[in-house]
Amino acid sequence: MVSNRIAVFFGLVLLGLSAVTAFPQHTPEDGRKPVPQQVQGTVEIVKAKAEANDVEAQLLLGCMYDSGNGVKLDYDEAFKWFLKAAEQGHPVAQFNVALMYAAGHGVPRNEAEAAKWYQKAEPADVMAMYDLGWVFAIGRGVSKSHGDAITWWSSAENRGREVAQRELGLTTTSTLWKLPDGKVIAESETVSVMTNTALGLTAYRGYKVASRELNHPCISFTNQDGTFLENVHVMGSSPVSIFYRWTDGTCCGETRLAKLPDHLQKQFGYEPKNAAKYEEEKARTAASAAAYGTHVQMLAEYPGVAKSSLASDPSEEAKKIQTLAEIVADYHKKSTSSKAADFMCAEMAMGLWNELRAQGIPAQILVGNVEEDMVSFFDANHAWVLAETSPGLYVALEATGGFVAYATDNPKYYFGHAFTNPKQFKDCIALERELWTAIQQYDSAIDKFDLQPTRVAATEADVRTMDVKEIRWKLIALLSGGR
Give the whole-angstrom CA distance, residue 29 versus residue 152: 21
CB-facing half-sphere around the CA of 403: CA atoms within 13 A: 7
DSSP at 304: B
One-letter amino acid for residue 52 of the chain: A
> What is residue 327's predicted lDDT score, i.e. its pLDDT?
92
| Listed residue (118, 2, 161, 129) closest to 69, CA to CA | 2
- Say what the pLDDT of residue 14 is: 30
Q: How many residues does the chain have?
A: 483
pLDDT at 332: 85
Cβ distance 129 to 152 under 8 Å? Answer: yes
Residue 205: per-residue pLDDT: 76
Residues sharing a CB contact under 8 Å with residue 462, sequence separation 6 or more, in sequence order: 235, 245, 251, 252
Last residue in a domain, options 64, 90, 124: 124
Helix segments in 108-197, DSSP class H:
111-121, 126-137, 146-168
User: For residue 103, is it within any domain?
Assistant: yes
Picking from 63-72, 153-162, 172-181, which range would have the lowest pLDDT averaged per residue? 172-181
162 band by pLDDT with thresholds 50, 70 and 90: confident
Burial bucket for residue 214 (CB in 10 Å: 0-12, 13-18, 19+): middle
CA distance 111 to 304: 68
Percentage of the chain modeled with pLDDT above 70: 74
Query: Which of 103, 124, 145 is at the close of a domain?
Result: 124
Structural domain includes residue 409: yes
Alpha helices in 169-271 (DSSP H): 198-215, 262-267
Higher confidence at residue 234 or residue 201? Answer: 234
Does residue 154 contact residue 214 with C-beta atoms inside 8 Å? Answer: yes
**Res 76: pLDDT:** 93
What is the chain's percent helix, strand, coil content, to nearest 5? 55, 15, 30
Which of 398, 420, 442 corresponds to the end of one domain? Answer: 420
Mean pLDDT over residues 421-435, rounded? 88
pLDDT value of residue 469: 78
Residue 408 has a pLDDT of: 84
- Which of the pair, 481 or 374, is modelled with greater confidence? 374
Residue 398's Cα: distance from chain center in Å?
A: 35
Taking the model in full, what pTM does it have?
0.47
Q: What percent of the chain has pLDDT over 90?
A: 12
State the CB neighbour count (10 A cutoff) for residue 272. 12
**Residue 119 exposure: Cα atoms within 13 Å on the Cβ side:** 13
Q: Is the pLDDT of residue 184 over 80?
A: no
The per-residue pLDDT for 366 is: 92
Whether residue 234 is contained in a domain is answered as no
Q: Which domain holds residue 21?
A: 3-124
Q: What contacts 329, CB < 8 A, 6 or more positions away? A: 402, 403
Q: What is the pLDDT of residues 359-401, one digit of tens each?
A: 889 999 999 988 888 777 777 889 999 998 888 888 999 988 8
pLDDT averaged over the chain?
Answer: 75
The residues that bridge with 382 in the sheet, in sequence order, are 368
Is pLDDT at 99 greater than 90 in this prediction? no
Torsion angle defined by CA atoms of residues 433, 454, 130 and 165, in that order, rounded to the nearest 10 degrees = -50
Of 163-167, 310-314, 423-427, give the lowest mean pLDDT range: 310-314
Give the total number of structural domains in the chain: 2
Distance of alpha carbon 198 from the chain centroid: 22
pLDDT digits (tens, 9 = 90+) for 309-344: 454 556 777 788 888 989 999 888 887 544 444 347
> What are the E-state strand segments in 22-139?
none
Specify if 96 maps to a domain. yes
Position 217 in a domain: no
Closest to 418 in 3D by CA, of 394, 401, 400: 394
Average pLDDT over residues 456-467: 72
Q: 348 pLDDT exceeds 80?
A: yes
Task: Assign residue 71 the CATH number of its domain.
Answer: 1.25.40.10
Lowest mean pLDDT among 213-222, 268-277, 334-343, 363-372: 334-343
Dist CA 34 CA 69 (whole Å)? 7
Q: Alpha carbon of 118 to those of 29, 80, 129: distances in Å?
A: 18, 17, 8
CA dihedral 366, 372, 376, 379 (to 10 degrees): -80
Q: What is the pLDDT of residues 5-14, one digit of tens each?
A: 443 333 223 3
pLDDT of 273 strictly over 90: no
Instruction: Please indicate, yes or no, if residue 258 is contained in any of the structural domains.
Output: no
Average pLDDT of the segment spanning 177-203: 56
The verdict on residue 112 lying in a domain is: yes
Taking only the tens place, the pLDDT of each residue in 21-36 is 222 333 333 332 333 3
236 part of a folded domain? no
CA 184 to chain CA centroid, nearest Å: 27
